């Protein structure tokens, strides 16, 4: 028997914090009522909000320089699912996981799906990996994958993506996310037009294999590992490719994959308008693709992204159905703690953005009442919606205070005993 956090343990921890929570919830209810906002409606929204956890996120990440493994790290997909289960058990807002292949390969995917279900988890988008070489692979991706100069290497990368779709079908997924590391480090190394043509041909072959109701999400990234030029470097290239491919192709926005200070919320707004917003990889950064925890450095930016999303949702924007995922690398924290914290910050931004009276805001915008519009948005951002998030968790059987409950459970120490460190654990520099 492996250690598990029990329902009773959560209930005992919740009982200790219940009176204080009730006071805070009623105080917030009265405050919101004065602003004509029904707290019940907000709690219902918080309960319905869901964001997927990446399987690679529960392992300790690293940098180009080093990786410092943490105690009790998951040693494969089964233990990763166990950890993802704990995140959802406590925070109750991460009911799906997004797997990455070949990292999460198993021989029986139907069994894996059942195993996930035993933790009340389902599978979100599947991610392909043609940015590393695998031992059994014939052709190297050193100089590219889907855009490689050599046709048979491109073909190998296409086949891997098709295999990911097949696996995803067995897991109950309905989207494939494609991020490629392809690009060049030296001017002159590759023909910028030709590599894009290769990308389009390869993607078309993958697109043609998409089952009914499936989508392909194209993830752009400005730089790294290619430092001079990246084939799909920005949302312009991504949108161009998605438009040419057709309705099933959309653009995925990883918050870290832009130049510093880029107005990401405006990109989101444009993609919504084009009906091409696939979804997100949430994380945060100060400089480049830092892969820090969502909302840890710039929570206001996260809120502004949600301001666009909630606006689209409430105005029933055509084709709006984004897939929400987290994509982070936890180098110095317990990944479970980071993912719990990130999931709560993402949900927090969603609820804060939901507080804005859209009719009032649009009236102010129409009158060019700059400061009133800005203050209205800021008022929502400045509202502490913690009691709403706590109440949503409580009603869904989660922890009032997931972080404290997780620490009190001793889960990490127990896993450190059960999971002795192995050399070269599957979670690497992500």
Total site size for ligand PSV, rule CB under 6 A: 10
Q: Is 219 in the site for ligand PSV (CB under 6 A)?
A: yes
Residue written as token pair 């029986």: 108
Binding residue for ligand PSV (CB under 6 A) from 254, 308, 311, 345?
Answer: 254
Based on CB atoms, which residue is closest to Mn ion, 131 or 196? 131
Q: Pick what 401 binds: Mn ion, ligand PSV, none; C-beta below 5 to 8 Å, kind-dependent.
A: none
Minimum distance from CB of 334 to ligand PSV (Å)?
19
Based on CB atoms, which residue is closest to ligand PSV, 43 or 60? 60
Cα-flanking dihedrals φ and ψ of residue 54, to 5°? -80, 135
Minimum distance from CB of 225 to ligand PSV (Å)?
9
Q: Is 348 in the site for ligand PSV (CB under 6 A)?
A: no
Based on CB atoms, which residue is closest to ligand PSV, 218 or 343? 218
> Distance of alpha carbon 194 from its chain centroid, rounded?
31
Within positions 69 to 108, which residues make up the interface with ligand PSV, using CB under 6 A? Answer: none
Based on CB atoms, which residue is closest to ligand PSV, 56 or 350? 56
Within positions 302 to 331, which residues make up the interface with ligand PSV, using CB under 6 A? Answer: 327
Q: Is 281 in the site for ligand PSV (CB under 6 A)?
A: yes
Q: Pick what 198 binds: Mn ion, ligand PSV, none; C-beta below 5 to 8 Å, kind-dependent.
A: none
Minimum distance from CB of 177 to Mn ion (Å)?
8
Q: Which residues contact 156 (CB under 8 A, 6 or more apart)?
A: 137, 138, 139, 145
Binding residue for ligand PSV (CB under 6 A) from 88, 198, 221, 415?
Answer: 221
Assess contact for 364 and 357: CB atoms under 8 A.
no
Site string for ligand PSV, 112-151 (x = CB under 6 A): ---------------x------------------------
Based on CB atoms, which residue is closest to ligand PSV, 290 or 414? 290
Q: Pick what 345 binds: Mn ion, ligand PSV, none; C-beta below 5 to 8 Å, kind-dependent.
A: none
Question: 120 pairs with which residues across the strands?
Answer: none
Give dist(CA 294, CA 333) in Å, integer. Answer: 14
Q: Pick what 430 binds: ligand PSV, Mn ion, none; C-beta below 5 to 8 Å, kind-dependent.
A: ligand PSV
Minimum distance from CB of 29 to ligand PSV (Å)?
39
Q: Pick what 128 binds: Mn ion, ligand PSV, none; C-beta below 5 to 8 Å, kind-dependent.
A: none
With helix as H, strand as E and coil as C, how does the chain read?
A: CCCCCCHHHHHHHHHHHHHHHHHHHHHHHHHHHHCCCCHHHHHHHHHHCCCEEEHHHHCCCCCCCCCCCCCCCCCCHHHHHHHHHHHHHHHCCCCEEECEECCCCCCCHHHHHHHHHHCCCEECCEEECCCCCCCCCCCCCCCCCCCCCCHHHHHHHHHHHHHHHHHHHHHCCCEEEECCCCEECCCCCCCHHHHHHHHHHHHHHHHCCCCCCCEEEEECCCCCCCCCEECCCCHHHHHHHHHHHCCCEEEEEECCCCCCCCCHHHHHHHHHHCCCEEEEEECECCCCCCCECCCCCCHHHHHHHHHHHHHHHHCCCCCCCCEEEECCCCCCCCHHHHHHHHHHHHHHHHHHHHCCCHHHHHHHHHCCCHHHHHHHHHHHHHCCCHHHHHHHHHHCCCCCCHHHHHHHHCHHHHHHHHCCCCCCCCCCCC
Minimum distance from CB of 304 to Mn ion (Å)?
20
Give dist(CA 184, CA 144) in Å, integer. Answer: 9
Q: Is 220 in the site for ligand PSV (CB under 6 A)?
A: no
Residue written as token pair 């994509």: 327
Based on CB atoms, which residue is closest to ligand PSV, 198 or 257? 257
Q: Is 349 in the site for ligand PSV (CB under 6 A)?
A: no
Minimum distance from CB of 430 to ligand PSV (Å)?
4
Which residues are at the interface with Mn ion (CB under 5 A)?
Answer: 254, 281, 327
Binding residue for ligand PSV (CB under 6 A) from 49, 109, 179, 199?
Answer: 179
Based on CB atoms, which residue is closest to ligand PSV, 297 or 372? 297
Assess contact for 276 and 284: CB atoms under 8 A.
no
Based on CB atoms, which residue is closest to ligand PSV, 81 or 373? 81
Cα-flanking dihedrals φ and ψ of residue 249, to 5°? -105, 130
Based on CB atoms, which residue is closest to Mn ion, 160 or 281? 281
Minimum distance from CB of 219 to ligand PSV (Å)?
5
Q: Pick what 341 binds: Mn ion, ligand PSV, none; C-beta below 5 to 8 Å, kind-dependent.
A: none
Within positions 5 to 34, which residues make up the interface with ligand PSV, using CB under 6 A? Answer: none
Contacts with ligand PSV, residue ranges (CB under 6 A): 56, 127, 179, 219, 221, 254, 281, 289, 327, 430
């Amino acid at each position: 028997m492996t250690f598990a956090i029990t329902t009773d343990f959560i209930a005992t921890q919740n009982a200790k914090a219940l009176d204080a929570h009730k006071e805070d919830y009623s105080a917030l209810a009265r405050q919101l009522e004065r602003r004509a906002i029904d707290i019940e409606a907000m709690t219902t929204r918080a309960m319905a909000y869901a964001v997927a956890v990446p399987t690679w996120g529960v392992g300790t990440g690293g940098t180009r320089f080093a990786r410092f493994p943490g105690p009790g790290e998951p040693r494969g997909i089964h233990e990763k699912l166990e950890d993802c289960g704990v995140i959802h058990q406590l925070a109750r807002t991460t009911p799906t996981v997004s797997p990455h292949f070949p990292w999460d390969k198993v021989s029986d995917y139907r069994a894996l799906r059942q195993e996930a279900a035993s933790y009340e988890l389902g599978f979100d988008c599947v991610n392909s990996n043609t940015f590393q070489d695998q031992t059994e692979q014939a052709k190297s991706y050193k100089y590219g994958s889907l855009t490689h100069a050599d046709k048979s290497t491109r073909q190998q990368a296409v086949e891997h993506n098709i295999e990911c779709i097949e696996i995803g079908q067995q897991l109950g997924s309905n989207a494939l996310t494609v991020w490629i590391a392809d690009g060049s480090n030296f001017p002159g190394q590759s023909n910028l037009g030709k590599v894009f043509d290769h990308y389009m041909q390869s993607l078309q072959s993958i697109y043609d294999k998409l089952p009914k109701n499936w989508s392909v999400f194209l993830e752009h990234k400005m730089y790294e590992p290619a430092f001079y030029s990246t084939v799909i470097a920005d949302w312009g290239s991504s949108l161009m490719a998605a438009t040419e491919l057709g309705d099933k192709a959309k653009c995925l926005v990883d918050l870290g994959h832009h130049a510093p200070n880029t107005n990401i919320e405006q990109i989101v707004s444009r993609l919504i308008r084009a009906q091409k917003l696939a979804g997100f990889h949430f994380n945060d950064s100060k400089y480049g693709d830092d892969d820090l925890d969502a909302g840890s450095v710039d929570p206001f930016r996260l809120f502004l992204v949600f301001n666009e999303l909630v606006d689209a949702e409430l105005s029933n924007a055509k084709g709006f159905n984004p897939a929400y995922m987290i994509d982070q690398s936890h180098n110095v924290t317990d990944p479970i703690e980071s993912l719990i914290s990130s999931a709560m910050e993402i949900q927090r931004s969603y609820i804060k953005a939901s507080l804005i009276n859209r009719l009032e805001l649009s009236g102010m915008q129409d009158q060019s009442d700059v400061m009133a519009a800005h203050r209205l948005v800021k008022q929502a951002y400045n509202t502490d919606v913690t009691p709403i998030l706590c109440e949503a968790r409580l009603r869904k059987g989660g922890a009032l205070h997931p972080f404290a409950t997780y620490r009190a459970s001793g889960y990490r120490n127990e896993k450190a005993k059960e999971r002795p460190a192995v050399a070269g654990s599957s979670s690497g520099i992500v």
